[in-house]
Amino acid sequence: MDVSGQESDWRSASFRQKLVSQIEEAMRKAGVAHSKSSKDMESHVFLKAKTRVRHHWGCWVWERRAEAKGGGAASRPLTS
């Protein structure tokens, strides 16, 4: 297993664009205006991240914040 290849692919343009698209989708579903674009959000996380996990986690947080602002899944209590 090539760990170094997997660890560096998160820095690729295609991987980063995929996360930008996911953030855009969350923002669209939230239906509220944001002061930063999805690209700005991803770039902010990318510059601070030292690993793929931290980068993905940071983008996930932005997605959840977008959903919470719009009353999406992140702001609703879990039910069984």
In a domain, 60, yes or no: yes
Q: What is the CATH number of the domain that holds 37?
A: 1.10.246.20
Looking at residues 64-73, what average pLDDT do you find?
A: 69
pLDDT digits (tens, 9 = 90+) for 12-44: 999 899 989 988 888 888 887 778 888 998 888
Give residue 48's domain range. Answer: 12-74
In a domain, 24, yes or no: yes
- Cα–Cα dist 30/24, whole Å: 10
Percentage of the chain surpassing pLDDT 70?
Answer: 75
| pLDDT of 1 higher than 50 | no
pLDDT digits (tens, 9 = 90+) for 45-58: 888 888 887 877 88
Picking from 38, 57, 40, the residue whose alpha carbon sits closest to that of residue 49 is 57
The H or E element spanning position 20 is helix 13-30
- Answer whether 0.75 is exceeded by the pTM: no
